[in-house]
Amino acid sequence: PGDTVVVQVRVREGNRERLQGFEGVVISKKNRGVNSNFIVRKSTHGIGVERTFQTYSPLVEE
């Protein structure tokens, strides 16, 4: 927690697939084996956005 990270997420739009970056500060990390996850928070135009990522998800690249 506290590190600034850029998470590359695989996004599918129709039949196209691309990588989308989500940059923010890690505010939580839960170690639960295969169900491990972490929460990243960023501020966009003064509005806070939090997103939860599964650590071992095939959609998360980095």
Q: What is the DSSP string of 26-60?
A: EEEEE--GGG-EEEEEEEETTEEEEEEEETT-TTB
Per-residue confidence (pLDDT) for residue 21, from 0 to 100: 94
Domain presence at residue 59:
no
Is 61 a member of any domain?
no
Does residue 40 fall inside a structural domain? yes
* Number of compact structural domains in the chain: 1
Is pLDDT of 3 > 80? yes
Domain residues for the domain of 47 are 4-54
- Structure confidence at residue 49 (pLDDT): 95
49 domain-assigned? yes
Q: Is residue 48 part of a domain?
A: yes
| Per-residue pLDDT tens digits for 7-55 | 999 999 999 999 999 999 999 999 999 999 999 999 989 999 999 999 9
Give the tokens for residue 36: 């491990």
- Within a domain: 60: no
Q: How confident is the model at residue 1 (pLDDT cuts 50, 70, 90)?
A: confident
Q: Indicate if the pLDDT at residue 61 is higher than 90.
A: no
User: What's the rounded Cα separation, in Å, for the pair 42 and 32?
Assistant: 24
Count of all residues that appear for the chain in the document: 62
